[in-house]
A and B are shown apart, each in its own frame.
Chain A
Amino acid sequence: MIDDALAQAVSLLASTVRLAVPLVLASLAGLFAERSGVVDIGLEGKMLSGAFAAASVAHLSGSPWAGLAAAIAVSIALAMVHAYACITQRGNQVVAGMAINVLAVGLTVVLAYAWFNEGGNTPALPDPARFKAIVLPLARALADVPVLGRVYAGLVSGHNVIVYMTVALIPVVSFAVFRTRFGLRLRAVGENPHAVDTAGISVAALRYRAMVACGTLCGIAGAYLSIAQGAAFQREMTAGRGFLALAALIFGKWMPVPAVLACLLFAFADAVQGRLQGVSLPGIGVVPVQAIQALPYLLTVLLLAGFVGRAVAPKASGIPYNKEK
């Protein structure tokens, strides 16, 4: 009985990790953009384009690494379009971000139609063209060891390479933002770009660099959806995850670790709802599916309203920088 409960818990947490990865990546991407003073609601569109590029290139080349590189390249290219509109041309950042989303939804489907003729999807990828689950050393041998062995085999081992990359990226991003010169300037340019400018540092160059980082992370998130977790691009497959990541970022007050925790919370609620369906709870009976599926949203509202307190955005976020003003 206890053994069974442990197996269920491990399965639930492993599912949480798998669901959290694209959210974490997109939310860290948003962190770079917003900390530098660029509001980015185009995370969704960059992820979607990345997913499409990854699946297309992985299909043509047979290599997931080429797919990942293509996803990053395409996503950075879109981030640069956004940057040009918002930083160089001082356009409205929300409008530009929305334009990227709309462009991505349309363009991916049109290109998929034209190139693969499968109605906006890409062909299903064979195993060698995907990032498959990696069994870590000793996972099989330790699987029978009580508790720790089970957790190691079920939760730590058995994910694909992007999951491990993401886990490694979290401290790297945290370090880059809070412990490096780039990070200091990044945060400063999002709070008070005039001061940064006065110090002789280019505001535009800093923001462009932040957008490159943002594009890179969104590209990885997209590749995860189409060539690691899934095996093909399907239209609109991001299904709002970019916006959820943005919510997690605000929820986490624009800090890497709290934002990651918020992503994990969303993912956990999602994983739980899949497992609660049709299960009879003691004293309550079977809860209707609709109620369970509302759980992640209810949780978000409750936490946002009750526990998080005020989330203050970087001061210059959303305001194009203009020397003369």
Chain B
Amino acid sequence: MKNVALAALFAACLAGPAMAQNAPAVTFDVGGKFDRSFNQAAYDGAEKFKKETGVQYAEFEVRNAAEREQSIRNLARRGASVVVAVGFNNRSAVETVAREFPNVKFTIIDSVVELPNVQSVVFREHEGSFLVGMLAAMASKSGKVGFVGGMDIPLIRKFYKGYEEGAKFANPKADVLMNMTGTTPAAFNDPTRGAELARGQFDRGVDVVYAAAGATGLGVYQAAKDAHKLAIGVDSNQDHLHPGTMLSSMIKRVDVAVYNAMIGARNGTWKAGVTVLGLKEEGVGWSLDEFNRKLVTPEMEKKVNEARAAIIAGKIKVTDVTAAR
């Protein structure tokens, strides 16, 4: 009897839970869908799709590298209309699985996979970071601004470079301090260390800090609040986390990318290829709402909006460190 039950369980595992036909699927990266940042933006996009269409999407939260390929393959096998892989870490997994399932659509966020059934969405984060860098330098009294990155990879360096150039554009004498949290994906989920890195920067005179570090950033923003310094959020609008000390957020519309992929697969408008979203496409930007209105002076707002227009017009060139590679 026991054996029969076990066999049944085994068979059930192999088959996988039944999934609604033509439902999209999404895998979130380390940090989890409630990191209030990058993954949460993806989650918001998927939720918007669910609300509008009433279709329940399948999801998976990756906890370690070994699960990536497996989870993407499972979702593909179960007949997802499109598998949205959130995060650059999924590149090789998507590449492998997309070859195995040439008839399944894949969308990867933050990386490029050149296959006929893969849509790649990348952002011009350096442009948005440039704008918040300007804000940081204009809000700083000490002339020193800080950056806390998550995992040390070219993508995060791209945020940093844009931020640095923006800060120096607003104040040529500005000092930009930089820390990376770690060299593994776990660096996106270590708020304790994020807080400590931020405090180290505050002790060295920094009074505005920008975190591009997923859930690690939550520690950075808390440390800024505790030390009465300013912080800048990333990916999602994080201004509401600590009203009064959140100067702004560099918004990256991962939600739009995820929503578009899902709705596109449903309507038949989904297309393979590379999509690049920058300031011009409103794929990146900076936040101004009731939570940070008091921290941003009309003059700061004006200058940042001018720079935004200049970048779109091509008059200001922001270095993209990933382009040179």
Contact = CB atoms under 8 A, between A and B. Distances in A.
Interface of A: 7-8, 11, 14-15, 18-19, 118-121, 124, 132-133, 225, 229-232, 234-237, 239, 270-271, 274-275, 277-278, 289-290, 293
B187 to A, nearest CB: 9
Contacts of B218: 124, 232, 234
Given A239-B190, A278-B179, A289-B180, A271 B196 contact: yes
Nearest to B184: A293
Give the 9 A-B CB pairs with smallest separation, nearest first: A119-B34, A11-B203, A274-B200, A231-B222, A278-B178, A274-B197, A289-B152, A289-B180, A277-B179
Given A119-B34, A290-B183, A230 B219 contact: yes
A275 to B, nearest CB: 6
B166 interface: no
Interface string B205-231: 000000000010011001000100000
A158 B178 CA distance: 25
B183 A11 contact: no
A118 B43 CA distance: 12
Contacts of B192: 225, 229-230, 237, 239
A8 B33 contact: no
A14 B177 CA distance: 20
A290 to B, nearest CB: 5
A289 B183 contact: yes
23 contacts: A11-B200, A14-B203, A18-B199, A120-B32, A120-B34, A124-B222, A133-B226, A230-B191, A230-B219, A232-B218, A234-B189, A234-B215, A235-B32, A236-B189, A239-B192, A239-B193, A274-B197, A274-B200, A275-B200, A277-B178, A278-B177, A289-B180, A293-B180
A289 B179 CA distance: 9
A198 to B, nearest CB: 46
B195 interface: yes
B191 A237 contact: yes
A118 B152 CA distance: 27
A119 B191 contact: no
B182 interface: yes
B77 interface: no
Contacts of B241: 124
A15 B199 contact: yes
Contacts of A290: 152, 183
Given A14-B203, A15-B199, A277-B179, 13 more contacts: A120-B32, A120-B34, A124-B241, A132-B226, A133-B226, A230-B222, A234-B189, A234-B215, A237-B190, A239-B186, A274-B200, A275-B204, A277-B180
